[in-house]
Amino acid sequence: MRVGIIGLLHESNTFIAEKTTLEHFQHDTLLTGPAIQDRFAETGHELGGFFAGLQQELIEPVPILAARAVPFGPILTTVFQQLVEMMQTELASAGMLDGILVAPHGATVCESVSDADGYWLTKLREQTGPKMPIIGTLDAHANLSQQMVDATNGLIAYRTNPHLDQFDRGVDAARLMAQTLREKIHPVQHAVFPPLSINIERQMTSEPHLAPLYAALNESLEKSGVLAGSILLGFPYSDVEEMGSSVLMVTDGDLQLATNESERLAEQLWQNRQELDGRFISMTEAVRQASALDGPVCLLDMGDNVGGGSPGDSTHLAHAIRQSDVTNALICIFDPDSVQESVTTGIGGTAELNIGGKTDDQHGVPLTGTWNVHDIFDGAFIDRQIRHGGFTKYDQGRSVVVKSTDGQLTVLLNSRRTPPFSLVQLTSCGLDPAEYQIIVAKGVNAPVAAYAPVCPNLIRVNSPGCTTAQMTQLEFEHRRKPMFPFEK
């Protein structure tokens, strides 16, 4: 048997003015054919799980398309059309297939197609016909749509945030495909869309407010006939009708069972909605608390969450630190211009820099002043442990460590937006976390896997920006109404 593999993943933040281009995909992943297996087979990504699972089942994998870009603005229409056409062309030349494993993100938005995942999955279904099994994975932050459900036979979301189980869910999908092709099971699925959106600040799956929901999910998974089940936490930074949290259950030919279990779990989400609303700490209070705690303290900069599409150059929290009595803090800021100026100055020199705050007016004003250029790096690094996202190899571009002349603030400047998923981002540039009282990580939950082992305390900070945790402050035009917490 031969099973195709397709991955098209992008988390699209519609509150960013800039758009995601083809170059964004080329900088990360844009592959067809055997190169996909070379890139993903040894990773902790779900595509790696697809390859491993099919190998275990003695099924030939047929890699077709892998397209992935770091979260950013909606995908340009022409680029999205090009990606879909690439998929269709590669699929047409792949030969006879028995099934297709797919990896949509679930929160992808094209500037002209709000439900981009539902669109490309539907195009895939139209090309393959109604009988071919299409089974796959979803990011836990998917804004699930009925169109995605209708176009596939079974979808399985990650069950951890930070996402450390992507590989396992990919293996699950491959096994589900093998059992389907051997006619041992006949998967059907049902989704429920309760009128709520879980706040991003409450989306770490190991914390007490989510633990009972995942315990209830595990109860469903133990029932005879239940093949898979998912809680979709949702991605609040896409202004689309599909935005929100949901539940999806896959059963063996029993649609009523799938309906009953998904409705039961969705009702539990609804009943716990107050616990799923955000808890917020201001920047001033967060810095004050951090200065009194055992360090290093990781301040999670929720308003500039690079993994949620933000620009990575916010200076709001850096300014709050500068105005405090903290004497040694570290922050990473995306600023190619300052990188180039520092490289021109050279190691050991001093440069007048305007750091950060350059993308738009949502993310603060530049940090101005005289900075000592401490060191310069190429920015490529490897983390031996799989972290959020499933990868071990990273490239943040040419990077420079600069320090304020008073020693209060150390800034790691990079020239490629890089989510803080790995602590090696710092250590590869000669930075020892133990030397700092405060380390700023531009994320919410994803950095926790890497930073918790070295930071005795972590504080999620209610900073402003296009990924503000106070989603009720964002101006939505297309979301469903009513929806908690917008309408109480």
pLDDT of residue 176: 98
Mean pLDDT of 63-88: 98
392 — pLDDT class (breaks 50, 70, 90):
confident
**Largest CA-CA distance found in the chain, in angstroms, rounded:** 70
Q: How far apart are CA 409 and CA 400, in angstroms?
A: 14
pLDDT at 391 over 90: no
Q: Could you give the C-alpha distances from 437 to 291, 298, 381, in angstroms and in order?
A: 7, 9, 24
**Would the pTM count as exceeding 0.85?**
yes
Q: How far apart are CA 484 and CA 73, in angstroms?
A: 25
pLDDT at 407 over 90: yes
Q: How far apart are CA 165 and CA 155, in angstroms?
A: 15
Which regions of 22-148 does DSSP assign to beta strands (E)?
A: 29-32, 60-68, 99-104, 134-138
- Share of residues in the chain with pLDDT > 90 (%): 97
Q: What is the DSSP letter of 113?
A: B
Which regions of 54-95 does DSSP assign to beta strands (E)?
A: 60-68
pLDDT of residue 17: 87
Among residues 372, 371, 391, the alpha carbon closest in space to that of 383 is found at 391
pLDDT tens-digit profile of 323-349?
999 999 999 999 999 999 999 999 999
Structure tokens at 187: 């998967």
